[in-house]
C-alpha cells in the first residue's frame, strides 16, 4: 500500500499504520481524513518541500492528525491520547519498547485544542524520532 504523507502527518500516520488493526482499511481512513479536513496534495507537497514551515501548518493539517489518531482509536474527541488502547494493539515485540518510549516522550503533550494536541504530539514524535527509534 502506497501512501504519500507530509512531514506533519508522517509519524502520526506511521504510528497509526504500525498499530492498526489488520481489519481496518488504513488507506481509506487516510483518504477520508484528508478529504474531511480539506487537505490537498499541494498542502502535503508544500510541507514536504519546506514551502510551508511545520510551525505554520494550517488548522486543517492539524485536524488531519487528530482525525487519523481518532479513527484508528488512539485518541478521543477531546484530544486525549489513549495510551492503553495503543498498547493493546498487536505490536511486534521489537517495536513495543519503541512505542512505549514514544508514548513516554510525547504522549502527554497538550495543545490548544484536540487538533493542536494531535499535531503537537506528531511534532514531538518527529523531533524525537532518532532517540526513539535508536534505543
Mean pLDDT of the chain, nearest integer? 79
Measured CA to CA in angstroms, residue 79 lies from 11, 32, 73, 109, 116 at distances of 17, 19, 11, 10, 8
∠ CA(28), CA(30), CA(35), 5° rounding? Answer: 90
Looking at domain 7-133, its CATH class is mainly alpha
For the entire predicted model, the pTM comes to 0.78
H-state helical runs in the chain: 7-19, 26-36, 41-49, 59-71, 83-88, 96-106, 114-133
- The percentage of residues in the chain with a pLDDT greater than 90, rounded to a whole number, is 27
Q: What is the distance of C-alpha 114 from the center of its chain?
A: 13
Assign 20 a pLDDT band (cuts: 50, 70, 90).
low
Per-residue pLDDT tens over the stretch 26-74: 778 888 999 999 999 888 888 778 888 888 889 999 999 899 889 888 8
For the chain, first and last CA: distance in Å? 28
Domain edges within the chain:
7-133
pLDDT for residue 2 is more than 80 = no
Amino acid at each position: 500500500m502506497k501512501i504519500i504523507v507530509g512531514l506533519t502527518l508522517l509519524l502520526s500516520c506511521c504510528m497509526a499504520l504500525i498499530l492498526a488493526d489488520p481489519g481496518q482499511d488504513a488507506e481509506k481512513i487516510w483518504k477520508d481524513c484528508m478529504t474531511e479536513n480539506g487537505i490537498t496534495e499541494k498542502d502535503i507537497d508544500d510541507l514536504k518541500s519546506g514551502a510551508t514551515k511545520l510551525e505554520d501548518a494550517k488548522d486543517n493539517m492539524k485536524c488531519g492528525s487528530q482525525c487519523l489518531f481518532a479513527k484508528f482509536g488512539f485518541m478521543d474527541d477531546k484530544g486525549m491520547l489513549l495510551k492503553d488502547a495503543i498498547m493493546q494493539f498487536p505490536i511486534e515485540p521489537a517495536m513495543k519498547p519503541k512505542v512505549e518510549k514514544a508514548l513516554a516522550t510525547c504522549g502527554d503533550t497538550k495543545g490548544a485544542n484536540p487538533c493542536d494536541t494531535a499535531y503537537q504530539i506528531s511534532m514531538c514524535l518527529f523531533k524525537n524520532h532518532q532517540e526513539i527509534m535508536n534505543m
